[in-house]
Chains A and B, each alone.
Chain A
Amino acid sequence: MSSARDTVLGRIRDALALAPTPPVVAPRDYRTGRALPDAERLALFTDRLLDYKARVHPCTADRTAEVIGGVLREFGVRRIGVPAGLDARWLSGYEGEVRQDHPDVQPAQLDALDAVVTASAAGCAETGTIFLDGSPDQGRRALSLVPDLHVCVVDLSTVEAGVPEAVARLAPERPTTLISGPSATSDIELERVEGVHGPRTLVVVIRTDA
């Protein structure tokens, strides 16, 4: 008896022989390679994020620590988790406990964090999407998932106009997470509720000159 693999592949070849169809080349007439001025990308990105009920703090790079400190104070955060490669200067405005993440940190320990602060890999203005790719300043996926508050720093220079431009920035082999607002559900009468299993609060710090 042949393997399931050989059987399934054999069936597919049979099917294609029974119903041959002409080769297709996908037309790609949709918008690609769009570039928008900084001010327009900032306005669009901010508008989309607010629509998802995310909180948005635009600032210049030199105010990063001040803004992050202010946000963590506002939410009464006492213990944060950070990825190993996060710029330590970003936390100079925060006085609480900082736990640097490590692969051996168990999920339950992540659950004991009040918040997580990460950088990001890219953004998409038109959809209000942030891309995390597990780089050292973003950390492993569990870190930005389990804590209830995610403070995410996005540099405006990495925010693209549309989805094709943003996807082009990604490295396929990296574990990638697309985040568009806080976790949400529409499962009850298709009414959107923000906050289920992922972070219930998403704060986006947009650095307009970085």
Chain B
Amino acid sequence: MSTFLGMPAPPPRSPYGTGNLRGDRAFPRAAHDELGNDQLRRNLGRATGTIRAKRLNVTGEVPDWEALRDAGSAIKTDAMNRLPELLEQLERKVTERGGTVHWARDAAEANAIVARLVTATGSDEVIKVKSMATQEIGLNEHLESVGITPYETDLAELIVQLADDKPSHILVPAIHRNRDEIRRIFLDHIPGVDPDLDNVPAHLAAAARSYLREKFLTTKVAVSGANFGIAETGTLAVVESEGNGRMCLTLPETLITVMGIEKILPRYQDLEVFLQLLPRSSTGERMNPYTSLWTGVTPGDGPQDFHLVLLDNGRTAALADAIGRTALNCIRCSACLNVCPVYERTGGHAYGSTYPGPIGAVLTPQLAGMHAAKDDPNSSLPYASSLCGACFDACPVKIDIPSLLVELRHQHTEQTGVTPEKLAMKAAAAVMRRPALYTAAQKASALGRVVAGRDGTISRLPPPLSGWSDSRDTAAPPRETFRSWFASEEGRAALRAAADEQNTEQNTEQNTDHDDEDAT
């Protein structure tokens, strides 16, 4: 391997065609269709509006919020810097406490490990805690392919699974569904559900409770993700609301936790920072209803067989980019989704990845790459933003998402090779370096007026420049350049008039002051 040669090699991305880190269409095309869905836009607008208000309320009441963000950001950066030693420490601690640690290079390897562990228990079904990592690797699809039935137990994940749908939000995967749609899904898909079920959220939640209760009490194997893994103690953390997490982490005989390697925290004390940052940023609560912390196996309490699967799947590729690696600091709170004007309108499906929204637009291309030659939908993700910066302000670990987007755009342009646009930019740079040529070119640019429409914009250029005009209108060049206007009689007259006006204003001000003095 690379280490034998003493020369570091760039780590590989998540292999193309595996897992759920790539849609089948570029963002603009997918977004175009989603924007046509009025119901979706209404659902999203209402939900994100609600959560934004709650988040501002509970982050505003914490006087040291900025200090917590600084600490959270630095703790994650420190963890990334020391990842090898921290992962080895975590492995040692979990093993000491009776757990078994597995390592997975990619999605396929992680899926195979989990399937093998489930099969070894003799069970053909698992209950699942909502987990981004297992969604990313397509674990459910893999388990089904080998005859193991996964039951999602988070209410939103259950809604998504029953409807054979895809998650569209990190925190609330069924945010694109309203109560009427959810009622319909339950009536159609939950066996034995009360046919008179109405659309009251409390009644819908109760229907999910009675459907899943028997599964919790009888299923022998659970699969979870992890919000945090503490290197110092080997402790794992799952942060949740409904109690489905506690059920899965406590009742079964076997627990398998799939954790991305970037979820590590150096010290147990670090929880004091993240248990403040995460709930307030995520659901807009002072604290989420339930957090479970466990360390290996505890005799007489909870699963007696515990496995931790540490997942790479492109994370080391992101780590190899000094700028891009800050996306690995993400704690999956979803605050950036809720404040994003693009996400609010397109929803999560348009991003095509398990990770939607602003963080998804920077994380997905880094985990799975942007393959120019394959017309990769991921290449469009860094452009799915207006760079307004709201995501940066909302991020509890201060990930500078706008700068990451710009960096990824740069990388994409670099690797795309020679395009007409790029040639044009090169030509422009050459011309601007030579004043005489520049003046001549400006005169020639008046020709642009010929192709402009009546509204004074150029909305369609012939190939090879159509790539430029497909995605933006260009204002037609003015009749006259600034330089030629400045040198003309009209320009000189305008400057004289402006100077006169300024003199008059100054005189008036002095007069006014004088009047005031008189009055006193």
The answer to the question of B89 belonging to the interface, with a C-beta cut-off of 8 Å to chain A, is no
When A and B form their complex, what is the total count of cross-chain residue pairs whose Cβ atoms lie within 8 Å?
Answer: 284
Whether B271 pairs with A193 at a CB distance below 8 angstroms is no
Shortest Cβ distance from residue A9 to the other chain B in the assembled complex, whole angstroms: 5
Q: Which of B251, B290, B301, B319 contacts A183 (CB 8 A)?
A: B290
Residue B67 lies at the interface, judged by CB distance under 8 Å to chain A: yes
Q: Which segment, of A56-64, A70-78, A194-202, faces chain B? A: A194-202
A-contact bits for B283-302, CB 8 A (1 contact / 0 none): 10111111111110010111
Other-chain residue from B2, B103, B209, B321 in contact with A14 (beta carbon distance below 8 A)? B2
Q: Which of B268, B271, B289, B321 contacts A179 (CB 8 A)?
A: B289
Instruction: Please judge, given known A-B contacts A8-B316, A108-B217, whether A188 and B295 are in contact too, CB under 8 Å.
Output: no
Check A183–B103 contact: CB distance below 8 A: no
Q: A15-B317, A196-B155 are in contact. Are A172 and B286 (CB under 8 A)?
A: no
Question: Is A187 in contact with B310, judged by CB distance below 8 angstroms?
Answer: no
Q: Cα distance A182–B295 when bound, in Å?
A: 24
Distance in Å: Cβ of B204 to nearest Cβ of chain A: 6
Q: Is the CB of B156 within 8 A of A31?
A: no
Flag if B74 contacts A11 (CB, 8 Å).
no
* Listed residue (A21, A141, A167, A188) with the most chain B CB atoms within 10 angstroms of its CB: A188
Let me know if A88 is at the binding interface, CB within 8 A.
no
B261 touches A183 (CB 8 A): no
Encoded as 1 (CB less than 8 Å from any B CB) or 0, chain A from 166 to 178 comes to: 0110101111111
Contact flag A107-B217 (CB < 8 Å), given A7-B1, A172-B233, A190-B172: yes
Chain A residues near B104: list those with CB within 8 A. 4, 8
Whether the pair B287, A128 counts as a contact (CB closer than 8 A) is yes
Stretch at the interface among A22-30, A92-100, A151-159: A22-30
- Residues of chain B with a CB closer than 8 A to A142's CB: 250-251, 301-302
Interfacial chain B residues near A174, Cβ < 8 Å = 295, 298
Q: Which of A13, A19, A111, A181 has the most CB of B within 10 A?
A: A19
Bound-state CA distance A15–B36 (Å) is 42
Q: Are A10 and B206 in contact (CB under 8 A)?
A: no
Give which listed residue, B63, B154, B156, B289, contacts A52 with CB less than 8 A.
B289
Q: Is the CB of B87 within 8 A of A9?
A: yes
Q: Across the interface, which residues of B come within 8 angstroms of A42, CB to CB?
A: none
- The answer to whether B291 touches A177, judged by C-beta atoms less than 8 angstroms apart, is yes
Bound form: Cα–Cα A199–B290 in Å: 11
Chain B residue nearest to A23 (CB atoms) is B81
- Whether, in the assembled complex, B375 has its beta carbon less than 8 Å from a beta carbon of chain A, the answer is no
Indicate the size class of the contact surface on chain B. Answer: 35 or more
A114 at the B interface (CB under 8 A): no
A202, closest chain B residue (CB): B289
**Minimum distance in angstroms from B512 CB to a CB of chain A:** 49
Q: Is A65 an interface residue (CB 8 A)?
A: no
Instruction: Judge whether B103 and A3 touch: CB under 8 Å.
Output: yes
CB distance from B119 to the nearest CB of A (A): 19
Contacts of A194 in B (CB 8 A): 202
List A contacts of B46 (CB < 8 A): 189-190
From A10, A175, A186, B2 is in contact (CB under 8 Å) with A10
Residues 162-202 (chain B) with a chain A CB within 8 angstroms: 172, 174-175, 178-179, 182, 201-202
Cβ contacts under 8 Å, B312 to chain A: 8, 11
The contact of B8 among A18, A48, A176, by CB within 8 Å, is A18
CB pair A188–B316 under 8 Å, yes or no, is no
The reply to whether B325 and A19 contact each other, CB–CB distance below 8 Å, is yes
- Asked if residues B286 and A126 are in contact (CB atoms below 8 Å), the reply is yes
Residues A163 and B275 in contact, CB atoms below 8 Å apart? yes
- Kindly list chain A residues whose C-beta atoms are within 8 Å of the C-beta of B153: 197
**A180 CB contacts on chain B under 8 angstroms:** 285-290
Q: When the two chains form their complex, are residues B63 and A197 in contact, meaning their CB atoms are under 8 A apart? A: no
Contact A178 B287 (CB under 8 A): yes
What is A's interface to B at a CB cutoff of 8 Å? Answer: 2-21, 23-32, 48, 51-52, 103, 107-108, 111, 124, 126-129, 134, 140-142, 145-146, 163-164, 167-168, 170, 172-191, 193-199
Residue contacts A-B, CB under 8 angstroms, 20 given? A8-B103, A15-B320, A18-B8, A18-B320, A26-B71, A26-B75, A29-B70, A30-B276, A31-B64, A32-B272, A134-B301, A140-B250, A145-B251, A173-B295, A175-B293, A178-B287, A190-B51, A191-B201, A197-B213, A198-B246
14 A-B pairs besides A14-B2, A17-B8, A186-B283 with CB distance below 8 A are: A12-B87, A29-B71, A31-B63, A107-B216, A111-B213, A141-B302, A145-B243, A146-B251, A173-B97, A183-B242, A183-B243, A187-B174, A189-B50, A196-B242
